[in-house]
Amino acid sequence: EIRKEVSGMDPDLYVTLRCGAYACGNHDTVFDPMAALYNAKYAAEQIEEPEEEAIRFYDSAIDEERRKESFVRDHFEEALRKGEFCVYYQPIISSLSGKAEGFEALSRWIDPEKGIIPPGEYIPFLERTHKIFQLDLFMLKQVCEDLKQLRIEAGFINVNLSQDDFGVIDVPSEVEKILQEHCIDPEQIQFEVTESAIGKQSAVFREINLMHEKGYKVWVDDFGTGQSSLSILKDYSVHGIKLDQEFLKETGPSDRSHLIITQIVDLCHSMGLIVIAEGVETSEQYWFVRRAGIDLIQGFYFSRPIPLSELLKSSFAENISTAQDRDFYQPVSRIDLCGPMEPELFGPDQIQPVFAKGVVERDHERMHFLRMNTEMEQLCSPFITETRNIRELREKSELLLEMRRNIHRIQDHQGICSFRVMIGGNSFHCAIAPLTRSQDQKKETYVITLTNLTDLEWPDPEKM
C-alpha cells in the first residue's frame, strides 16, 4: 500500500520498504520504548528480500542471533589479541594415491567459557563490519608459523580470503610481506576465494590476476553456487576449482548433479585446471568422485578439520604426496571411462555389448582398481575384495590370473595386449594397455577394458 502510494506521487520513485515489529510485554520485565524501537528496527534489517517479505517480527530466533552478534562485536578484537583464535587443518587428499597433497586452514574461536565457536557465527558479521581482514591476516601468519613445525616441503596450505579483504587491504602486498617476514616460499601457500566474491568486484579481478603473476595459486571456492561460474574460468587466472558441497549431496549415478560434475571436470581438465571435491562423506561419494576423474578430495570421509597438535601426530602429515606420485597418477584421472559406441547407435534388436573400463594399479603381484566405470563395477564385484579405499582383485580369480599372464607379454612390446577371458560363465574380450610406471619401477598402472563376446548373463554374486 505504502509503496503504491509513493509511486503514485512520482512514477520515477522506487521505494524499498522493510517493516520490523516488536511485540512488547512478551519477555520484558520493564517497558522500555527505545529498546522496543531498536528491536523492531533490527528485525526490519534482517529482511533480505523486501519484495517477498513485507514484515519481520522480532522473535526468539532473532534475539538469539543478535546476542551472538553482540558477543562477536564486543569480544572479537580482544579474543584475537589474547590468542583465542587458532587454525584447524583439514587434509586435501589426492583421490588416487590416497595421500595428502595439502591442507585447508580453517579458523576456530576457542572461547574460555563457550568452548569452540564455529566460523558461521562470526565470519558473516566480521565481513559485514569490514573486520574479516584482521582474521585472515592472522590466519596467514599463524599458518606460516605452523609450517615450521609441519615441515611439508612438497605440500601446501590453503588459506581462505574473504571478498571483503580485497576492498579493505592491498591483498597481494600484505600477503607478500607476511610470507617474506616468515621466509615462506609462495609455493607452500595457496588461496581460496569464493566464486561469489570473484564475480563481484573489479578489485578482486585485478588482485587475483596479479597474485597469479607473482606465482601464487588461487582456487575458486564454492564453485557452482554463484551466477558467474563459467565466465570466471574464462577471465581469471586461477589454479583450480573447489566444487561446492551441494553437488555431492544428491547421490545416485543418474543424478543431474553427477552429470554436471562429470562435465565440469572434463571442461576444467581440458583447460589445465585442477578440481577438488569438498564434503565427501560416504564411500559412494568417494567412488563417484574417482570415477568422475576429480583430482583432490576433502571431506569427513578422510578427516574432519583437526588442530595442529593432532595433525602432527597423524599419518597425513607424514606421508605427503610427491611430484613423482602426481606424475604417476595424473594420467589415470584423465582416462575417459565411457564406452566407444554410443547406445543410440545400436539397432532395435541388436544386443548392446557391455563396455567395462577401468584403471588398475599393479604393485608386485597384487592388483587393485584405481578407477572403474559402473559396468566394470558390476562385472568385477564378485572378484573384488573391498576394504576402505582399496578394491583389490581376489587372488586366484580368473581375471587376475589372466591379467598377470598377459601383462608379462606387454612388457616386451609396449602397446595394447588383448586376450579372451571367462567371467561368470561368459566369454569376454579383454584389452590391457600400460599407462604409467613409478620412478622406482615398482608400481605400474594399466587401462583395462572388457567387452562381452556372447550374450551376457550377469554373474550372480550370491552364487560366486
Catalog residues that contact ligand C2E under the rule CB under 6 A.
Answer: 90, 106-107, 118-120, 123, 132, 135-136, 139, 160, 162, 221-222, 278-281, 298-300, 305
Residue nearest to Ca ion (CB): 192
* CB nearer to Ca ion: pick between 22 and 302: 302
- Supply the minimum distance, in Å, between the C-beta of residue 263 and ligand C2E: 22
Q: Residue 139 binds which one of Ca ion, ligand C2E, none, with CB within 5 to 8 A depending on kind?
A: ligand C2E
Please tell me the distance from the alpha carbon of residue 63 to that of residue 110, in angstroms, as a whole number.
23
State the minimum distance, in angstroms, from the CB of residue 370 to Ca ion: 26
Q: Which of 192, 195, 375, 402 binds Ca ion (CB under 5 A)?
A: 192
Other beta carbons less than 10 A from residue 168's beta carbon: 15
Residue 190 touching Ca ion (CB under 5 A)? no
Given ligand C2E, Ca ion, none, residue 333, with its beta carbon under 5 to 8 Å by kind, binds none
Tell me the three cell numbers of residue 342. Answer: 554410443
Q: Using the rule CB under 5 A, which residue among 222, 295, 361, 392 binds Ca ion?
A: 222
Asked if 160 interacts with Ca ion (CB under 5 A), we say: yes
Specify the residue, 158 or 449, whose C-beta has the smaller distance to Ca ion. Answer: 158
Stated as kind and residue range, the H or E segment containing 269 is: helix 256-270
**Distance (Å, rounded) from C-alpha 256 to C-alpha 402?**
38
State the alpha helices, DSSP H only, in 28-109: 33-45, 60-82
Contacts of 361 (CB under 8 A, 6+ apart): 367, 368, 369, 370, 443, 444, 445
- Is the CB of 311 or the CB of 376 nearer to Ca ion? 311
Cell numbers for 211, please give them. Answer: 597474485
**Residue with smaller CB distance to ligand C2E, 306 or 372:** 306
Residues 162, 189 contacting (CB under 8 angstroms): no
DSSP calls for 217-234: EEEEEEETSSS-HHHHHH
Judged by CB under 5 A, which stretch of 38-46, 83-91, 153-161, 248-256 contacts Ca ion?
A: 153-161
In angstroms, give the least distance from the CB of 50 to ligand C2E.
Answer: 26
Query: Is position 165 an interface residue for Ca ion (rule: CB under 5 A)?
Result: no
φ, ψ for residue 222, nearest 5 deg: 50, 45
Q: Would you count residue 221 as binding Ca ion (CB under 5 A)?
A: yes
